Amino acid sequence: MGTPMEVRLEEDRHWWFASRTRAILVYLDMFLGPPPPQGRLILDVGGGAGNMAHHLQHFGRYIGVDLHARPLQVARRRGLRAAQGDAIRLPFAAHTFDLVALLDTVEHVPNDVQVFAECYRVLRPGGMLLVTVPAFMFLWSYNDVLNQHQRRYTRRALVAHLSAQGFRVLRASYTNFFVFPVALATVLTRRGDPPPHLASLYFDQEAYQVDMEPVPGPINAVLTQVGRVEANLLRHFSFPWGTGIIAIAYKDEVNAPPMRAV
């Protein structure tokens, strides 16, 4: 698998991770910006080994939390602050964080409502929540089974979950809009017949590196460029469909930022 740094850089080169990261950075640039002089504290829920820390640290001081010990050991070897804890019972006081990142985490948890409630609890008034999740149950595939997902979401359902906990959603969009037709065709073609390269994998609940389907170099390069185009468009509008969803919301209390259309 290589050293932690090598793994991190390899993940950054995969088109799916690179596209997700660009979408995340666009939303954070638009709604958060650089850290203020007094600093900003960021919690990465389900952050594992801190594979997103080098991106999130541009916006404030990073703390990760994860249920499993093995990825936390890797995070600490990387020099990151990381705590062990459950997303439905976060080991932090209320009103602690300026930003909570919930990046492809909540779909793994049976009680997603409690996860959103805990994120709300630990955020300071006006603090931000950034969420990414997989989209549409009709895209359910063996990848979801392998990664022990509980569900996939629609944009409307995710916004409703966040609103029910007191969040005000600033923007929510589907992602991987341009690859959606290919993804749908692939899922329908493979339905009921797990891909051989995935069927033989043993899912390690404590693995710190996510296994993604390998992509030939030229295709990966094209899809990476598609992700760049999509990230630029996300600055201006939300996509009506895609294979994932990204949303950013704030804790609706005193000194919260002004509303913007979702």
Positive or negative: CA dihedral 186, 191, 197, 202 = positive
Of the pLDDT bands very low, low, confident and very high (cuts 50, 70, 90), residue 213 is low
Residues 239/175, Cβ–Cβ less than 8 Å: yes
Structure tokens at 116: 């959103």
First CA to last CA distance, the chain: 40
Average per-residue pLDDT in the chain? 88
DSSP string, 177-234: -TTHHHHHHHHHHHTTS--HHHHTPPP-TT-SS-------HHHHHHHHHHHHHHHHHH
Q: Which of 8-12, 24-28, 87-91, 176-180 has the weakest average pLDDT?
A: 8-12
Look at residue 234 and tell me whether its pLDDT is greater than 70.
yes
111-161 pLDDT, tens per residue? 999 999 999 999 999 999 999 999 999 999 888 988 899 999 999 999 999
CATH architecture of 4-251: 3-Layer(aba) Sandwich (3.40)
pLDDT band at 261, cuts 50/70/90?
Answer: very low
Residue 217: CB atoms within 10 Å: 8
Q: What average pLDDT does range 228-248 have in this prediction?
A: 97
Report pLDDT for 146: 84
69 has a pLDDT exceeding 70: yes
Q: Kindly report the number of other CB atoms within 10 A of residue 204's CB atom.
A: 11
Q: Is 136 exposed, middle or buried (0-12, 13-18, 19+ CB in 10 A)?
A: buried
Measure Cα distances from 50 to 46, 71, 179, 227 in Å: 9, 8, 27, 22
Burial code (b: 16+ CB inside 10 Å, e: under 16) for 223-254 equals bbebbeebbeebeeebbebbbbbbbbbbbbee
Checking if the pLDDT of 1 tops 70, the result is no
Structure tokens at 180: 């959606």
